[in-house]
Amino acid sequence: MRRRPHLPAALAVAALLIGGPASRAQNDLPGPLADVGFDQRLGEQIPLDLRFTDETGQTVTLERYFGQRPVVLALVYYECPMLCSMVLNGMVTSLRALRFDAGNEFEVLVVSFDPGETPAMARTAKQTYLERYDRPGTEEGWHFLTGSEQAIQGLSRSVGFRFVYLPEDDQFAHAAGILALTPEGRVARYFYGVEYAPRDVRLGLIEAADNQIGSMVDQVLLYCFHYDPTSGKYSAVAMNIVRLAAVVTVVLLGLFLLRQWRRERRHLHTAKA
């Protein structure tokens, strides 16, 4: 059983949540906590041949979860006393707000970075968060893994996730966030903190899927909103919005003129008759 973290360590880790990427705050943190954070690895290919153990106890490679759909990845550990549950709760809250379903438009992959954790812990976590997601029939879209130190380090390095073990507390100090990966296993988007705007996650998944999912409305949103890797959020692009508004205005004006022209033709036809 892990002990509760000392308050200074907990507060230091919580500081990583402020203002997006943990790397922005790392220089202000004491000792080993300066090594905690997210490094941008956009476009990086994760090693799909890494071996983990799933919640049923079966040995699997990461390749099993890629190839068809984008993947939402969360690096946590199941006995984390505070931060990891906040990350997973925030992820579930965001995913519940989407019209997309896990296992259909995307996969969810939760990987423990504590090599001492077991498939039984992963199984319990999966049950907990499936109940919170509350969409029957999506069970096959959720995957909770544990692994060796080598596999964990290989995955975490590829996505730029840095964490530190604090032996005095028997805890890990780590950043908070989730990622969107492409079906090929490349890092597409980072979403920092413990709350993730459903709009941002939706647009991130659509871009990760190379526009193979989503609607025409989503394509318009992608034109008007641009991903900012520093904040891990989508922000409005003023010029694109102005351009789109101009196009819409021209189209509406054209439709109005066409309608007026047709009305006048009908009137003329009626008068001749």
Stretch (H or E) spanning 191: strand 187-192
Q: Which pLDDT score is estimated for 232?
A: 80
CA–CA dist 78, 87 (Å, integer): 11
Is the pLDDT at 63 greater than 60, yes or no? yes
Q: Which of 11-15, 62-66, 105-109 has the lowest mean pLDDT?
A: 11-15
Is the pLDDT at 145 greater than 60, yes or no? yes
User: What single letter denotes the amino acid at residue 199?
Assistant: R
pTM beyond 0.85 = no
228 closest CA partner among 182, 195, 189: 189
7-212: in CATH 1.20.1260.10? no
Tokens in use for 161?
């996730």
160 closest CA partner among 134, 186, 135: 186
Q: What is the Cβ-side half-sphere exposure of residue 239, based on CA atoms within 13 angstroms? A: 1
Asked if 103 and 138 touch (Cβ cutoff 8 Å), the reply is yes
Triad 186, 190, 194: Cα angle to 5°:
140
Which among 4-8, 27-31, 58-62, 196-200 has the top mean pLDDT?
A: 58-62
Q: Which pLDDT score is estimated for 125?
A: 98
Is the pLDDT at 117 greater than 90, yes or no? yes
pLDDT, average across residues 79-86:
93
User: By CB neighbour count within 10 A (0-12 exposed, 13-18 middle, 19+ buried), where does 245 fall?
Assistant: exposed
CA–CA dist 23, 101 (Å, integer): 32
Q: Which pLDDT score is estimated for 211?
A: 76
Is the pLDDT at 19 greater than 90, yes or no? no
Is the pLDDT at 140 greater than 70, yes or no? yes
Identify any residues that bridge with 102 across adjacent strands, giving them in sequence order: 106
Residue spans of the domains in the chain: they are 7-212
Q: Which pLDDT score is estimated for 49?
A: 98
Q: Which pLDDT score is estimated for 118?
A: 98
Is the pLDDT at 250 greater than 70, yes or no? no
